[in-house]
Amino acid sequence: MMNKCCFFLCFSFTLFSLNAQDFIPILNEENTWSVDIYYEIFDPQPPNPCCFTITEQLTLGEIVVHNGLDYKRLYVDETPRCDLREENGIVYKYDQNENIDTILIDMNLEVGDVFNFIGSAYNSYPTCHTAGFAPITSMEVENVEFVELAGETRKIITFNRYAVPNFIQVRWVEGIGNIHGFDAFWEAIDITAGQALVCFTNSTGTYFFNDATSCDNTTLNIVDLSKQDILLYPNPVSSTSILQFPEGTVDQVQIFDVSGKLIKEIFPTANYIKIDIMQYASGLYFYKAFSEKKPIKSAKFIIR
């Protein structure tokens, strides 16, 4: 009887081991990402410059705790962006507004599975890095393959093109994330024209993506100004928020609605401007900060 019990237990454990899948974690502390953001200005006529690229560096920082769970903080150019945790191939983002987890990437998906975008496309979808919003509600897995990449055999999930032919196909790479950046989708509708992962660095080396040959492809040449020094807080705006910047750096701010229409232009006389909820209808907006007619930062904000 004991032999039969032992056989059953051992056989059951073997089946469990065969069915369980170990995933290469995305949130390894040594992992870093370099992502090119391609900007196209709504009005490319002089004196506005047309197009430029800024490469942003993504790193993982300290452990923070929400609801008794450990999360790793994601930094973009040394500015904290969001809190993430990973479990069984799924990357979760902590939604501070709802005090819940939302799924950012799920490497368990197989051909035919559908990944649904949870929440509003304008403000609730769990993005960490992208500034745009998704004009779609779901993506279907088109292909799954295993490829030797960045020192290990990794699962690659390819999604359809959302039935829109000119949209770039999204691919998730196990242990790395999205080849267009870090989030589940690529930046679709925004003041920018898109983005692409150009470098992924881990303990084994640096690996290039999307035909890149450099980990920094920034074409702007503004030495004295760091983008992280320009900050709108709080965001979302529920009463009055402050867009702050170093003294003497920003001389023009433009504000656009979600359609790209310029609705306000400000020429600051101090090192900040006020964003007052009474001046705008509820929704998604974008601001562009300029220095000597050169755009130096673009970001979204939400009016509650």
CA–CA distances in Å: residue 272 to residues 246, 267, 298: 8, 10, 16
Could you give the 3-state DSSP secondary structure of residue 12? Answer: helix
pLDDT value at 98 more than 70: yes
Give the sign of the dihedral formed by CA 212, CA 193, CA 128, CA 57.
Answer: positive
Facing residues of 243 across strands? 232, 273
pLDDT recorded at residue 18: 35
Residue ranges per domain, the chain? 32-208, 227-303
pLDDT recorded at residue 44: 47
pLDDT value at 120 more than 80: no
**Token output for 35:** 């992502």
pLDDT value at 269 more than 80: yes
The predicted-structure confidence for 165-207, as pLDDT tens digits, reads as follows 445 678 999 999 998 887 776 654 444 567 889 999 999 999 9
Q: Evaluate whether the domain defined by 227-303 bears CATH number 3.40.50.850.
A: no
Question: How far apart are alpha carbons 234 and 232 in whole angstroms?
Answer: 6
Question: How far apart are alpha carbons 76 and 20 in whole angstroms?
Answer: 34
Give the residue-averaged pLDDT of 138-154.
92
Could you give the 3-state DSSP secondary structure of residue 134? Answer: coil
pLDDT value at 118 more than 90: no
pLDDT value at 14 more than 70: no
Please say whether the beta carbons of 160 and 168 come within 8 A.
no
The predicted-structure confidence for 252-262, as pLDDT tens digits, reads as follows 999 988 767 78
The residue that leads in pLDDT, 153 or 15, is: 153
Q: What DSSP designation does 185 have?
A: S
**10 Å Cβ neighbour count for 213?**
8
Residues 6+ apart with CB under 8 A from 2: none
| Most confidently modeled range among 19-23, 36-40, 81-85 | 81-85
pTM of the model: 0.66
Could you give the 3-state DSSP secondary structure of residue 4? Answer: helix
Q: What DSSP designation does 235 have?
A: S
Residues 6+ apart with CB under 8 A from 39: 51, 52, 53, 54, 191, 192, 193, 295, 298
CA–CA distances in Å: residue 48 to residues 84, 189, 214, 286, 292: 38, 20, 27, 17, 10
pLDDT recorded at residue 51: 64
pLDDT recorded at residue 135: 57
